[in-house]
Amino acid sequence: EVQLVESGGGLVQPGRSLKLSCAASGFTFSNYYMAWVRQAPKKGLEWVATISTSGSRTYSPDSVKGRFTISRDNAKSSLYLQMNSLKSEDAATYYCSRQNNTGTTDYWGQGVMVTVSS
């Protein structure tokens, strides 16, 4: 059974940093692209970042480029999201997700909440 378990969320002040982690199990982690998707309270879904199987390629939208860094450790079947210079608009539930070979996110974690407030 595919499982994605996020951790590392919490309350952080604007301008500070936070690192999210995602522990994957139930599949061969190193064979899949992985992604982070977020959802602000009562809002829709927003893709945040994707990383290739080896970690050599990453993709992210302009809204987080230069502030957020996605990374992975295939030996530990873990995905990470380093978030720097956080803004109030980054407050959301962050989902770890698996991308299949068509680029679709086929499995999602339960999500971890990030609150940005002074």
Contact residues for other proteins, defined by CB under 8 A? 35, 37, 44-47, 50, 59-62, 95, 100, 102-111
φ, ψ (nearest 5 deg) of residue 114: -120, 125
Q: How far is the CB of 84 from other proteins (least distance, A)?
A: 19
Q: How far is the CB of 5 from other proteins (least distance, A)?
A: 12
Q: Are 20 and 36 in contact (CB under 8 A)?
A: yes
Q: How far is the CB of 36 from other proteins (least distance, A)?
A: 11
90 forms beta bridges with none
Long-range CB contacts (within 8 A, 24+) of 55-63: none
Nearer residue to other proteins within complex by CB, 24 or 105 = 105
Nearer residue to other proteins within complex by CB, 16 or 65 = 65
**CA atoms of 28 and 49, how far apart (whole Å):** 20
Nearer residue to other proteins within complex by CB, 14 or 115 = 115
